Structure formats: C-alpha cells, structure tokens
Structure 1
Amino acid sequence: MDVPKKENSLHCDICGFAARCKSALEKHMRMHTGEKPFCCNICGARFSQKSSSKMHMIVHSDAKPFPCMTCGVSFSRISSLRRHKIRHTGEKPFHCEICGDRFSKKSTLKIHLLTHTGEKPYECATCGARFTHKATMTMHMSVHSDKKPYACDICGVTFARYTYVKQHKMVHTGKKLFRCEICGNRFARKSSMERHMVTHTGLKPFRCENCGVGFSKKLLLNDHLLKHTSDDVLQSLQT
C-alpha cells in the first residue's frame, strides 16, 4: 500500500514518513538504522535523540524535576514518576496469564512468573543452592559468613538476617502477632505457633528411634530418650 506524500516535504524511503525539514527526517531515519550518535560523557550510554541524552544526564545529578502531585516525592525520570503514581491509584496493569494475579510493576510480574516455571536462576557460589529471587540468594549468603550486620537497637544483639532481628525484638516489645485460630493463644513467633498447633491436630512428628513411640513436642521426646539412657546404664551395671 502506497503511503500518500505531502507536497513540499521530505519522505522516508522505508516507511513513507513525511518530514517537514531535513533535520526531522534525519532524526526519523535513526529509528530504522539504530544509529545512536549522542553519547553520555560520564557513563558512555548512547542515545538516538539529543533530547534523550539531555534527559539521561539528570541521573548523574541531584536534580529531581518530576514531583508527584499527590505526595510530593520527586524523581529524576518521568518514567519513575509514572511507576510511582500507580501506588496511589492502586492500578495493577500487569497480569499473569497463567493464574490471573495482577501486579503494579512489570518487574514484579516477571519475578512472579518464576513460581510457575520453577526456574531458579540465582545460584549460591559457595554451596550451589539455587533461588528464584536474587534477594533470597543474597540473604542466604549470610549463612556462609560470620557477619551479623543486623543489630537490635534495644539490646545490641546482632543477627545474620533482618528477619531474625524483627523476631527477636518481640522479646522486648511483648508483641504476640501470631494467633491460634482454634484456641486463641497468641505467640511471638510463627514457629512457636506451628509447634502449638500440633496439640490440636494430634500429630506426633517426633519419634523415638529406639522404641518407635511418637511425641507432639521435641522436648517430650528428649525427656523420653533419657529413660532409654538410664535403662541402658542400669543394664550395664547389672551385667
């Protein structure tokens, strides 16, 4: 299909675009050629348009000329402002085609899709464990070092993971965020609540390897094991 050409204008030989002047045609042609003649003298990034190069330079300065009219937070890029404004509107334009879940960010959707594929692209260089999320792998790396960068601001005790600090601080605050839905008892830690739930289910996951008796709590198993130990001692004394 022929593209109609306007009189007194320059035309693109590839798509027929009509430009008002030679410079406009040259700018348009870079869309086809991929040429990027404008280079950032700080980081070397290249751009096809001079306006894009100027806009990029803002990231190398403290200038944040794009403010959010709702909360006042400013950004160096208008694209960052657009992504931020979704927080206020609650809009979730990105949806998972597998399960239908919706997300406010495309990057969050990409991470979510890994839960369907089972892909774990991040590998621990020390032990080979693989992870779906980079943040999870970074957190895992702390188990291979003696570093404990997260300190309790109340007592000074340090931890390898931030989640451990949050759990520990409940000792100081007395908060018990985890509630048993059956009896209403509250617990400071999720693991404590899960252990408590066994008392309602009747499960006895802790089993004695000597006689096969099961117990709902590890503490009860330990007490039971002492019985075997004392029996063995008595038997050795009698022989």
Structure 2
Amino acid sequence: VVHTEERPYECDVCEVGFKTQAYLKSHMKIHTEERPFACDICGSAFKTSEGLRHHQIVHTEDRPYECDICGSTFKTQTYLKNHMVVHSENRPFACDLCEFTCKSTSTLRTHMYVHTEERPFECEFCEMAFKNAHGLRIHLVVHNEERPFICEICDLSFKLKTYLQNHTSVVHSDERPYSCEYCDSAFKTTGNLKTHMLVHTDDKPYQCELCEYTCKSASYLKGHMLVHTEERPYQCEFCDYSSKTLASLGKHMIVHTDERPFECEYCD
C-alpha cells in the first residue's frame, strides 16, 4: 500500500484520506482535545508521541544531517529528505483546481486547503485556526515568552531563527540584492522592492469606503482611515501632543530641538 497513491481509509470528520488504517487511527487524534504527551522541558503537550518527538527538537541545537549539495544542515533525517526536493526540477503533483504543481503529495495536500474554508489546525491557547500545521507552529510562538535566538551584533533576541536571520540581513548588512528593473533603486528585501514598484504604476486599486480616496497599497489605505476616526496613536514623549500619523509626529518633534530647517528665501 505504501508504494501506491491509493488512500482508501477516509476520515469521517475532515475527509482526508490515508493509505492504512493505522495512519487514519493516528490522524483521528487531531479531532480530540486529549493531549497526553507532555514535554518535560517546557510543559507543551501534544496529541501524539510523534508530535512530542518533533517538538523536542527545538530544545537542541544539534543539526547532524547535512545536504551534500548545498551544505544545509538539519535536525532530523526526515527534514533533510524533505529538503532534497528543492534540488530537483521534477514537480509531478498537480492541483485539480488550479495550475499549482509541487514536488510532494504532502505539499499538495497542504495546498488544497487554499480552496476550502476549512482550518483544521486549531490553537489550544486562543481561537486562531490554520489551514496547515506549519501556520499553526509559526503562530504558537506568540504564546511563548522564550526568545532564544540572540543577535551577536546588537543583542536583540527573537522567538524564531528565521526572525533573527531576517533581522541580521536587513539591519546589519549593506547588501541590497533586490533591484528595481525600471530604475536604479535596490532593496534589502523583496517586500521593500514590491512596495517600491508601486511608484512605477498609476494603479490605485484600494478605495476608502467612507470617501473617494484611492491609493496604491493596503498600508496607505490603513493610514488614511485614521482621518475618519478620533484615534491619534502617535504620542510625543516630551509633551501632550499626539498625531494620527508617524510623519506628523516627526515634523512636530522639531519644536523640541533648536533645529530650524525651513528658511525664508527673502531674509535671514
């Protein structure tokens, strides 16, 4: 059975299919509240012993499994095996509902959730729910005060290694690998490049529901919406002044310095 794509055992709750009855039985635990497997280091509890084993990896820095092609290291042989597909151009698994293709059945199963409203992965600490286990794992960090990843340059600490890596590359590096194809601007992140690209288009797809204002990005619209409220979230640390935008606060701060940047062109 393991060498075929047949999945005759279907979950009555979420309709996910499995190759063996044992896999189905193990899967059914995600639909209960029972979490009998507890981590003896941090107290996190899990529905399966496998979930606990995967979790306990976060408490060690050992990464003994190395990729022969790119040198990346991993904590488990499974992670290494999953990584190896990035070195292959073969994407044999196709979605029936869109043009998405991928390198593994597990990735395809995860992708299929984008075509449904189903969010089977629920957070045990709040009401958030996610379409895949990865999204849930990332979210769970907000419920943990641990910040074990420390920047060697400025001592800032982070909850995830990826957050630290992003911080280091953006804050402590002058490298700007993402270049605009229309001008000489270059950026540290793809997000910044994407935001910049808006200056090269006249499209303003974001429309205010309360007035005729239109803009190029959701962040601009969010900032604009403050004009329709009494909210003034930006507070001066030296006086009672508050403003609706960070830019307005920046201009105000000049009154607390001897700086006089605006000169009259006719006198001294």
Superposition TM-score, scaled by structure 1 size: 0.60
Q: Which residue of 2 aligns with 1:45?
A: 103
Q: Which residue of 1 aligns with 2:47?
A: none
Q: Which amino acid aligns with 1:134?
A: T
Q: Percent identity?
A: 33
Change (3 A) 1:98 1:39: same
Structure 1: gaps (5+ residues): 1-26, 47-52, 214-239
Query: Over residues 50-107 of structure 1, what are the superposed CA-to-partner deviations in whole Å (9 max), with x where a residue is unaligned?
Result: xxx5x34422433765443333545555444333322222333433222222222333
Residues 54-65 of structure 1 mapped to structure 2, 5 A cutoff: 55-62=106-113
Residues 22-171 of structure 1 mapped to structure 2, 5 A cutoff: 40-42=92-94, 43=101, 45=103, 53=105, 55-62=106-113, 66-71=121-126, 73-75=128-130, 77-114=132-169, 115-171=171-227
1:148–1:160 contact (8 Å) kept in structure 2: yes
| Deviation, structure 1 residue 125 | 1.1
Aligned equivalents of 2:148, 2:249: Cα separation in 1: 37
Change (3 A) 1:66 1:179: closer
Q: Which residue of 2 aligns with 1:185?
A: 241
Aligned equivalents of 1:74, 1:174: Cα separation in 2: 32
Aligned equivalents of 1:77, 1:124: Cα separation in 2: 33
Q: Once superposed, what is the RMSD of the aligned Cα atoms? A: 3.3
Aligned equivalents of 2:213, 2:257: Cα separation in 1: 36
Aligned equivalents of 1:96, 1:170: Cα separation in 2: 35
2:102–2:108 contact (8 Å) kept in structure 1: no
Task: Say how many residue pairs are matched.
Answer: 175
Of Structure 1 and Structure 2, the greater helix share is in 1
| Deviation, structure 1 residue 204 | 1.1
2:203–2:216 contact (8 Å) kept in structure 1: yes
Aligned equivalents of 1:208, 1:198: Cα separation in 2: 17
Structure 2: gaps (5+ residues): 1-76, 95-100
Q: Which amino acid aligns with 2:146?
A: E
Larger Rg: 1
| Deviation, structure 1 residue 112 | 0.7
Q: Which residue of 1 aligns with 2:252?
A: 196
Q: Which amino acid aligns with 1:104?
A: K
| Deviation, structure 1 residue 205 | 0.9
Q: Which amino acid aligns with 2:93?
A: N
2:148–2:158 contact (8 Å) kept in structure 1: yes
Q: Which amino acid aligns with 2:232?
A: K
Q: Which residue of 1 aligns with 2:60?
A: none
Q: Which amino acid aligns with 1:108?
A: Y
Describe the SS at the equivalent of 2:237: coil
